[in-house]
Amino acid sequence: MKRGLMLWSATLVTYAFLYVPLAVVVLFSFNDSELNASWVGFTTRWYAKLLGDETMLQAAANSLFIALVSSLIATLLGTMAGIAMHRWRPPLLPFLVLTPVAMPEILLGVSLLLFFRQVLDLTLGLFSILLAHITFSIGFVAIIVRARLAGMDESIFEAARDLGATPWKTFVRITFPLIVPGVVAGYLMAFTLSIDDFVITFFVAGVGMSTLPLQIYSMIKVAVTPEVNAVSTLLMALTLTLIAIASRVALTTLKRGT
Amino acid sequence: MALLELRHITRRFGDLEAVKDVTLSVEAGEFFTLLGPSGCGKTTILRMIAGFDEPDEGELFLDGQPLAGIPPEKRPVHTVFQSYALFPHLTVAGNIAFPLEMAGRTRDEIRRRVGETLALVHLEEKSAAFPHELSGGQKQRVALARGLVNKPRLLLLDEPLGALDAKLRERMQIELIALQREVGVTFVFVTHAQQEALALSHRIAVMNAGRVEQADVPEALYSSPKSRFVADFIGTINLIEADVVESNRHGLLLRAAGIGDIAAPAHPGIAAGRHGALAIRPEHLRVSPHSESAGLKNHFLGTVSEYLFRGDVTIYTIRLDNGLSLEALTTNAAPGRARFHEIGDRVRVEWRHDAGVYLAD
């Protein structure tokens, strides 16, 4: 009984540590006061203000566009890399694909900036952010897809060939349906990584280009206003929804035992 | 003309010669088995027939046509894999329909053939189930149905009964024989279980270290093995080292160190002075109390050192006075008595002059 109590309190403290700050942000986004100090009353005016804020809306639109497009391309390339790593076990590919995952973001940001400016002579903006996000997302997708393939009986793919399927038909009818959960999980991962990336985006955004995290950062340089709370709450809601979908996909896959 | 022909096939993996100069032919309608211990090259041969591997030397022919360079999907050869390799995301019906879909059959034909094949393996009620909902024996049947549904010229089976428990295995053996007879498809079966091979096959090729030691009908492999390996691998056998003293058309006279002279069946081509071993099956040995004799040509005294009572038969290990141990199998056919000798009993071991095979080195 006593031990149960201790366990419960430890659990409670840990979860409180994790989630109270988030709850405070959500709570104060509905607070009818300019200051994040004490609770005054309920309001939705910060959300209304947010919706009237042109720069904020533009930043949100940029973020969504970058996240959608970069995760799509990263999923395509990452899936191919994951399959290639599993099938042919090339010695260099895992290293090349996975390095951006392990590399400190600040390093990746600086090197991408130098590469875009000095080597490619690219004008920084939407396109350079897209390239950067694709770069750091590919590795995550590749890892997930490869892990999915690694758990499978190799003879399934041989059986498909043996029973009359060409390599392409084998991919369409057997390989792809079996790795779909991995591909979807990889896509959602890439999307969440892209939409809340700050460090790398900060380096490669250039002048006049803003994403949601950059916009929030520039706002809190002045003060943490309730408007920041409101936009953070929305971002949190989006991310949580995606995580819920991803775990749902993983669960249904587990249940089907495939 | 043989349906499948392998001519001087050699396959190397690095320094290892997995298959060495193998020549075999399989007739249409045959149940042909490649038998051997693991690593003897039997699975490599199967993979070359299926098209997953190509020989370094030699050629394969199916219906007289060379198979070189033809990918697996273009060969009229299907495989039942050891792990069954059922597609986990497709139902039983979906799995069985797969080869028909790949062959571009019409929807009506696919439905009809899937139904027929499900009936053939008694799985009609499992048509909508997914592989993970099936038992081992049911998976086995789906894999067989999937391999047979598009009527291949040849069905390859890679240790398909290996994962089943002993009872189920025996039942599947009987079903497999019936199934092969019913569909008339040529089977090439790979196994390391000699009893399974003897029970199922029309012909068996016994393999060892990449070579075919002997290819023959089961009865011939059992009664006249041509090498020590085959003699030892198929069933149980006693090997008595002995030199040839005399050889004529009536028989061989052998001399074994510490035992004495042994009369053995004639063996043309073996001259006096050769060394080798007499291979004799446990069921050819007679065991009687030392004071009695059945009057057979070869008889030696020994002591019972071990016995295995199996109900219908008892297997005695008998130590001869020169130290050699022999296994003798006696049937317990006499009513009222189930066993005759105890450990430590002095007994006489006897066998006929025409029993056994002499294997010269």
pLDDT in tens, B218-268: 999 999 999 999 999 998 999 999 999 998 888 899 998 888 899 999 888
Give kind and range of the element (H or E) at residue B155. Answer: strand B154-158
Q: What residues pair up with B4 in beta bridges, in sequence order?
A: B26, B62
pLDDT at residue number B108:
96
pLDDT band at B70 (very low <50, low <70, confident <90, very high): very high
Of B81, B88, B99, the CB nearest to A155: B81
pLDDT at residue number A253:
58
Express each pLDDT in B247-258 by its tens digit: 888 889 999 888
pLDDT at A255 over 60: no
By C-alpha distance, the chain B residue nearest A180 is: B89
pLDDT top residue among A249 and A213: A213
A-contacting residues in B 130-159 (Cβ below 8 Å): 130, 132, 146-147, 150
Amino acid at B312: D
pLDDT band at A257 (very low <50, low <70, confident <90, very high): very low
Express each pLDDT in B156-173 by its tens digit: 999 988 878 888 888 889
Interface contact flag, A162 B71, Cβ < 8 Å: no
Would you state the structure tokens that stand for residue A139, as one six-digit string? 């590795």
Rounded Cα distance, B284 and B305, in Å: 19
A257 chain-B contacts, CB cut-off 8 A: 88, 130, 132
pLDDT at residue number A1:
56
What residue spans define the domains of chain A? Answer: 49-256
Rounded Cα distance, B235 and B194, in Å: 7
pLDDT at B198 over 60: yes
Local structure of B286: helix, strand or coil: strand
Which residue is it, tokens 């809190």? A220
A49-256 maps to CATH 1.10.3720.10: yes
Interface contact flag, B85 A165, Cβ < 8 Å: no
pLDDT at B107 over 60: yes
Rounded Cα distance, A191 and A187, in Å: 6
Residues 6+ apart with CB under 8 A from B250: B266
By C-alpha distance, the chain A residue nearest B132 is: A257
Share of chain A above pLDDT 70, in %: 96
Taking every pair of Cα atoms in chain A, the longest distance, rounded to a whole number of angstroms, is 72
Nearest Cα neighbor of A28 from A46, A11, A12 is A46
The domains located in chain B, with CATH, are 4-231 (3.40.50.300), 236-360 (2.40.50.100)
Share of chain B above pLDDT 90, in %: 73
Q: If you average pLDDT over residues B31-47, what whole number do you get? A: 94
Amino acid at A61: A
Rounded Cα distance, B217 and B232, in Å: 17
Of A153, A158, A164, the CB nearest to B99: A164
pLDDT at A115 over 50: yes
ipTM over 0.85: no
By C-alpha distance, the chain B residue nearest A176 is: B89
State CA A200 to chain mean position distance. Answer: 13
pLDDT band at B63 (very low <50, low <70, confident <90, very high): very high
Would you state the structure tokens that stand for residue B302, as one six-digit string? 């020994």
pLDDT at residue number A138:
93
pLDDT at residue number A53:
83
pLDDT at A192 over 50: yes
Nearest Cα neighbor of B252 from B237, B274, B231 is B274
User: b/e map of A120-155 (b: 16 or more CB within 10 Å)?
Assistant: eeeebebebbbbbbbbbbbbbbbbbbbebbeebeeb
Local structure of B150: helix, strand or coil: coil
